[in-house]
Structure 1
């Protein structure tokens, strides 16, 4: 039996394992997935999780439930020694240990890009995992509860101020969805007024959503501004110490919630702790068929895909172009990984990855979105419906599709669920205090 080890259970890793189970007989290969989380996070749903439009668990797909013939090992791969066909795994509890393999598939994914900005590490929340999106939602709702009991002043103003840093898809969608949630919430509080809300979107470049054209990008800025948001272009965050945001334009303000969505950075394990070939951008060098190496120097029994692989973009038609790092490509690469690995084991030639973009679609809050495919641009309600339709079809497994759709239907009938469970971060507090304040 071939021992196939998959490093990372994200889009590419999950789909590779899921499809390999279907393509390989149980006696052909032993599959293992190593990931610190026992679930795949469907990241396109995180903005809606943060806005309370999707139940958090519905944006996560259990690895153990759907990978029935795969061994799931919880932990972090800290070193890949391909020469000796083994990796080092660090579990949550207990000492590190080695796992040996015959074939390795590296789909560890990227990490959130960080900059040495004072205060960010202690104050900001990312939006790459379900727990982060839940924290954003709960903190926003709790801030409304607290602000409603306070007189007008600096503390109340801080609680009603939200800052998103980063104008890519994740930042713009998160900003639009939470702004939509805030505008909906404020109607529930008689002592609060919409004019008190301060939502800031900070982008260091001169435009947001670089995946769409300039005119659609400007339309998104106007749409967010008309709904009460403030979009700061060509602006950097210089400091966020104690929630006091200082911008490169000279503006300063206190923010009760800071969300950091400045894009992806190379996985440190892939960049620094492997003997596999790494390119200038810190990604694994792969061939168009997702095998590690180059045509001149192939690496046997090693494959990679997703955010930590520099996959040549054959559809671009220009030399030295690489596939964009997004969910659309990652889960398609995962499916191709399964087909190519199975073909390789059966003595057939693997196929190259060629994918023509289906366009870019983003949600900007309930009833509002943007879609672009070549010169075709759709705005508003139709784009929002296209976003929901595409992603409910793209989320893995029918079980999750049904749960997500049922949640949307329930929300359409009864509205958003605005219960905050921020206290779940400190579950023993009530037990220890006996229900009495300190």
Structure 2
């Protein structure tokens, strides 16, 4: 797609007005030398002046051709006409070549004009040859230098515009990459939250149905747990999706919703007991063991460890089968945090049936902290998931903690 130009007709009109003005100025400044001897200029001198001046109006479109015409007209006028013609037009043409054409073309035109200046300086006149040579050479150098300066400045400004365009494009690309990473993170969070809570709700509901006939009170208690688990899942989902709204929309919603409450913090290792308790209530006995002393851990690392345990226990609930039990072990060392979740479920002998998205999400989370995840069957039945996280590991994809 071609770049958008602001008001191109007005821009072209200004350029033509400027070129016509420069041409008229060159012609006006070239007239006085023709009256230097006190006599009217000849017809040949006026014709040469027109030939010398008129092409200047086309100097932007045909810079080299205009320079050639003005140079030839200046030399012919100096040699064939018995009246002096000013060389202002050829100097303007040289400036235009230097400003718009490659440097090699500018230097070539300047060399030709300098040669003509040397010949003109050595021609007998009222001025000393060295004074005339210095004057003419100085004018050639000034026109060339001013043109090269204009070309350099124009190239510098073009580079700045190009750099600004590249930076804007890179900024947009970085924004798209950040948005894609955020969508991936939110997808993992939603998967963990929805899969775990729905699994717990299904297990509790089955238990409530089984207990409803024999123990209505127990069934009612289980259903209250189902309700609490559903509300917690809804709260977590609202907290997670709240990061997708901008501040203004969130403020507007909060002003209109009288029941708006601040988002709860992201879960950490302190909430593992509550997680284990929910899984136990869903029908899977869980043993929670902690080895070593936990030092200060980053919120993102604690969230990652919590999600690993949550995903592994959810899979155990789904696939371990009746009569299975699970064990959650956390081992704190100065160099790493090791998380192991295993079950002895006889209901599965191989890999669990599923999309595999949970395991992929676990690996991505743990890899962000320089760790790794291993998952596979246990000898004699069951499944074990082991994750090792390094508190000081450089995060390749930093995990943001949603608030």
TM-score, structure 1 normalization: 0.19
Which structure has the highest helix share of the two? 2
Q: TM-score, normalised by structure 2?
A: 0.20
Q: Which has the higher contact order (CA 8 A, sep 6+)?
A: 1
The structure in which a higher percent of residues are strand is: 1
Q: Computing the radius of gyration over CA atoms, which structure comes out larger, 1 or 2? A: 2
